[in-house]
Amino acid sequence: MARELALRDALNEAMSEEMRRDESVFLMGEEVAAYNGAYKVSKGMLDEFGPKRVIDTPIAELGFAGIGVGAAMNGLRPIVEFMTWNFAVLAFDQIVNNAAKTLSQSAGQFKCPIVFRGPSGAAGQLAQQHSQTFESWLANVPGLKVVSCIDPADAKGLLKSAIRDDDPVCMMESELLYGYKGEVPEGEYLVPIGVAAVRREGTDVTLVSFNKMMLPTLEAAEELAKEGISAEVIDLRSIRPLDHQTIVESVKKTNRLVVVDESWPLAGVSAEVAYEIQKYAFDYLDAPVTRVNAADTSLPYAPTLVDEYMPNAAKIIKAVKEVTYVK
């Protein structure tokens, strides 16, 4: 059986279930307790688990991320919520230089089972300093795992897997889509980290994306179908490790690939996917791999410029017609 849940409620269920299952799991971050979370993801958790396990922190990302890393090294399983990953830049020293390296620099003597989570990417008119997309930044660091999705069922299963993982996991959500609803199974289940999902099967072109860019990608696939172009849509879900094999198998069938990525084009997730496909499926390609990215600039404030900056269904359709040679 399944119910329809909003993304915020699916995340809440994941954390609550894991905290009931394992007393070493706790949540900390700005406004997660008394205010029920900046986006109400932790609503009701303070009442159930109390202030020792749902902890409001000062506005000091570097400080409370460091507390989380130390707690993880000493046998606890912290969930550290950032109000936005833009603010987590202040905590990158702890994430990149400590959490990611704990296992290797201790020669395997210490693990760091910690989850860093919060929204990544643009969220409307929040301008340059609050709209960056961090998946590729974090996925570049050995020792970190990175997951990114908006499907409520996947988000719940991935977060539960992340909490149980002995490595540090960065979970990227979407500020715009905490209210996005989907079918979530009842009962216990996990979604494995490192496995992509085929959201729509097709034969003419493979579309690859993740997080909220899945919505314009699926919209584009629907519109393309009306014109007789069959698009297969793959949701990466996991950025590191990256499931290139699922993409390869799809490209062997469709012979064309368009990657949709909200981040900037240079050295982003789309660039890595393009590299993987030219390495492992070059002989199957009938057209160059094409990418649809955000504009190579900081996000403007004006709504008209936001529309120009962001990938959308029209830009995806245009890219598909270029690789399928349809005018």
8 Å CB contact between 220 and 316: yes
Beta bridge partners of 79: 27, 115
> Which residues are within 8 A (CB) of 284 and not within 5 positions of it... i.e. 6 or more apart?
251, 252, 255
State the catalytic residue, choosing from 30, 61, 135, 173.
61
Judge whether 191 and 161 are in contact, CB under 8 Å.
yes
Q: Which ranges in 152-302 belong to alpha helices (H)?
A: 152-164, 214-226, 244-254, 269-280
Q: Report CA torsion sign: 5, 186, 191, 246.
A: negative
Handedness of CA 65, 5, 131, 295 (dihedral sign): positive
- Angle among Cα 90, 95, 100 to the nearest 5 degrees reads 160
3-state secondary structure of 23: coil
Identify whether 135 is a catalytic site residue. no
Residue 130 annotated as catalytic: yes
Catalytic residue from among 130, 232, 244, 262: 130
Active site residues: 61, 130
